[in-house]
Structure 1
Amino acid sequence: MIITGDDSVAISDVQCYLHQHFEMKDLGPLSYFLGLEVSYTSNGYYLSQAKYAADLLSRVGITDSSTTSTPLDTNVKLTPFDGTPLADPTLYRQLVGSLVYLTVTRPDIAYVVHVVSQFMVAPRTIHFTTVFRILRYVKGTLVHGLHFSAHSSLTLSAYSDADWAGDPTDRCSTTGYCFFLSDSLISWRSKKQTATSRSSTESEYRALADATSELICLRWLLEDMGIKQSSPTVLHCDNRSAIQIAHNDVFHERTKHIETDCHFVRQHIKHGTVQLTPVSSEDQSTYIFTKAHLPGRFQFLLRKLKLASIIPP
């Protein structure tokens, strides 16, 4: 059990009570738990999985110095039909499962891991090659992690995006969103949409609905923790058509197929929970969750996410 809080007397009382009923040992301040490493500084907390990642690389046998600057080549479009089927897919499934857990602190690999996870049933050689590219990228970025500042405000904000018809197999779009508590990244997602969208606006609006759902949950969670969001949460979107539909009470032929999502987002706008705000493509933080990028652009997006590469001083 992990006991948190800043009331030392209350924590001591809980520990004494548990000692009376269970055999337990006080391990002191949290530093390592289920592969998660927690470091403390005067500036806040640093969360990483460096040891977990290093153990994974050692288990696979990647011991040379070869690394890659991005987890996915922009020229690679994975499909279920390229390459040769693996004779034994066990290792592939184990590695992808381990990488899924690594995304707990590594948003930079969320998109490519979501892609390779789609081929767990019948993986092929090209999929396995992509997994090894991810591992070589991880090898070069072992100390990447998340920094939660102790001095920033506790205002929630969000970004939402969709890569329209990006899947080469069925032309489904990819939803991407991320949430910041001030400048600390606290939630993100990269997920293939279940339905094929007939326009970029439709795919963007589906992403907005998913982001709004996560937004509501996070506001409830923060309120339970005593951090009430007194004003609407700003949700940034770079598709002006989707924003216009969200504020338009009149349905027409273009929105019939996403009517439920329209009602859902509009309801929370009217209730003052969400404030949709346009954002330029240059300032859109979620592109890293919807597609592959060249090294320069990829590093720029990492800086937008405030991903830490060393323990802050």
Structure 2
Amino acid sequence: MGSTSGKEEGIDYDEVFAPVARIEAIRIFLAYASYMGFMVYQIDVKSAFLYGQIEEEVYVCQPLGFEDPDHPDKVYKKELCDEFEKLMKDKFQMSSMGELTFFLGLQVQQKKKGIFISQDKYVNEILRKFNYTNVKYASTLTDLEKPLVQDGDVADVYKHLYRSMIVSLMYLTASRPDIMFVVYACARFQVSPKTSHLLAVKRIFRYLKGKPSLGLWYSKDSSLELLAYTDSGYAGATQDRNSTTRGCQFLGNRLVSWKCKKQTVVVTSTTEAEYVAAASCYGQVLWIQNQLLDYGYNFMDTVIYIDNTSTICIIENPIQHSKIKHIEIRHHFIRDCNAKKVDSMGKIDTQHNVADLLTKGFDAGRFQYLVSSIGMLNP
């Protein structure tokens, strides 16, 4: 939209921003498409909303051109799809791009048994960019014997190179939750990166060299039940000892959302760190529940799995514990959600808590188990 200088809001213009779809919304849509067995097509509408003379709200819906599994008595004709496409081409500058194979940096392979999401072309691109096409690959992302620290006495490395590598890896986390924890741990040292930090980033590239095609598999046969897992790495940040929030949300066995972020509050116990992480997970679950309402699904009382019994007791006990009065009020909304049966807490053993993948480094066996548990595989 053009400049609003000299114009009055509400008279000359109403909104001055462009709505942007969250990447989680795209993954939710693809998960739903895999469940329904839809074939997703892509169209490019160049002028429908930029140049069209629109004086009212416009809703564009997919024409009925498929067999609806929920209503087998309704069999729709392909001619309706062709008619819809012709109408759009006549009315707007629209071009049909065929079956969806690439969207917002994600490669999408639509198969009979589900949808596979990856970024292997991008992986190969950054491996060439940083000259890692011929290196020896690593089976894990971190060296457990050499944790990342500030390393003040070691010489600095070239900041531009380090930051460029980090930014490239952060873009890759849109489909690779397996690298997210280590990437964001390395990202905390961008101000003054040292040799040890650069070596840690290089190890990530060596890991990608060995598994460039790893991606998310959305199986058609899985249910559409909304499940969530939350975990926390207590005092895991080596710089300031802040805890970290980890969480992931599934539709059936389809991983659609995940988070790995350092907590802004200072906590004094594992229970408090888990409580703050659970609040963050609750917020994301509420957002996903609202998204799924548009698809006609009401997932109230979603189960959120956590491996900390004390946190569950705090959330489910209606009595305000004196030991948690110092926790910021904004984290206590999870108790209201629990009381209203919007969500519920479920106890899970740490060994089976898949959010553990986003909390710390692991040996090869444990790491591979967690990666496969969240539905990542090679095509």
Query: Which category describes the TM-score, using the shorter chain as reference length?
Result: over 0.9
CA distance in 1, matches of 2:361, 2:340: 36
1:202 counterpart letter in structure 2? E
2:290 counterpart letter in structure 1? W
Judging changes above 3 Å, is the alpha-carbon distance between structure 1 residues 265 and 45 closer, same or farther for their aligned structure 2 residues? same
1:29 counterpart letter in structure 2? E
Structure 1 residue 218: Cα displacement = 0.4
Instruction: Check the 8 A contact 2:235/2:242 in 1, yes or no.
Output: yes
SS at match of 1:142: coil
CA distance in 2, matches of 1:183, 1:210: 21
CA distance in 1, matches of 2:94, 2:195: 48
Question: What is the aligned counterpart of 1:112 among 174, 182, 193?
Answer: 182
1:32-43 aligned within 5 A? 32-43=102-113
Question: What is the aligned counterpart of 1:66 among 104, 112, 136?
Answer: 136
Judging changes above 3 Å, is the alpha-carbon distance between structure 1 residues 115 and 5 closer, same or farther for their aligned structure 2 residues? farther
CA distance in 2, matches of 1:107, 1:287: 12
Select between 252-261 and 185-194 the one with higher mean Cα deviation. 252-261
2:372 counterpart letter in structure 1? R
Structure 1 residue 21: Cα displacement = 5.0
SS at match of 1:27: strand
Question: What is the aligned counterpart of 1:84 among 155, 178, 188?
Answer: 155
State the partner residue of 1:181.
251
Q: TM-score by structure 2 length?
A: 0.77
Question: What is the aligned counterpart of 1:205 among 269, 275, 282?
Answer: 275
Structure 1 residue 7: Cα displacement = 3.3
Structure 1 residue 296: Cα displacement = 0.8
CA distance in 2, matches of 1:5, 1:49: 27
**Structure number with higher relative contact order (C-alpha < 8 Å, ≥ 6 residues apart):** 1
Instruction: Check the 8 A contact 1:35/1:51 in 2, yes or no.
Output: no
Would you identify which runs of 4 or more consecutive aligned residues in structure 1 move more than 6 Å? Answer: none
SS at match of 2:320: coil
Question: What is the aligned counterpart of 1:102 among 172, 195, 206?
Answer: 172
Structure 1 residue 78: Cα displacement = 1.7
State the partner residue of 2:320.
251
CA distance in 1, matches of 2:328, 2:103: 44
1:14-57 CA-to-partner distances (Å, cap 9, x unmatched) read 54344235444322101123432111111110000001100110
Instruction: Check the 8 A contact 2:230/2:248 in 1, yes or no.
Output: yes
1:289 counterpart letter in structure 2? L
* Percentage of identical aligned residues: 35
State the partner residue of 1:151.
221
Instruction: Check the 8 A contact 2:316/2:339 in 1, yes or no.
Output: no
The structure whose residues are more often helix, as a share, is: 1
Judging changes above 3 Å, is the alpha-carbon distance between structure 1 residues 167 and 10 closer, same or farther for their aligned structure 2 residues? farther
1:84 counterpart letter in structure 2? A
1:15-30 aligned within 5 A? 15-20=85-90, 22-30=92-100
State the partner residue of 2:295.
225
CA distance in 2, matches of 1:55, 1:127: 22
Structure 1 residue 168: Cα displacement = 2.0
> Which structure: larger Rg?
2
Judging changes above 3 Å, is the alpha-carbon distance between structure 1 residues 58 and 152 closer, same or farther for their aligned structure 2 residues? same
Structure 1 residue 85: Cα displacement = 1.4
1:281-305 CA-to-partner distances (Å, cap 9, x unmatched) read 1111111101011111101111211
**Residue 165, structure 1, aligned to residue 235, structure 2:** yes
Gaps of 5+ in 1: none
CA distance in 1, matches of 2:298, 2:82: 28
Instruction: Check the 8 A contact 1:174/1:290 in 2, yes or no.
Output: yes
Judging changes above 3 Å, is the alpha-carbon distance between structure 1 residues 218 and 34 closer, same or farther for their aligned structure 2 residues? closer
CA distance in 1, matches of 2:124, 2:311: 43
Gaps of 5+ in 2: 1-40, 44-60, 66-78
1:168 counterpart letter in structure 2? T
Structure 1 residue 79: Cα displacement = 2.7
Q: How many residues are matched?
A: 308
Q: Give the CA RMSD over aligned residues.
A: 2.0
State the partner residue of 1:274.
343
State the partner residue of 2:37.
none
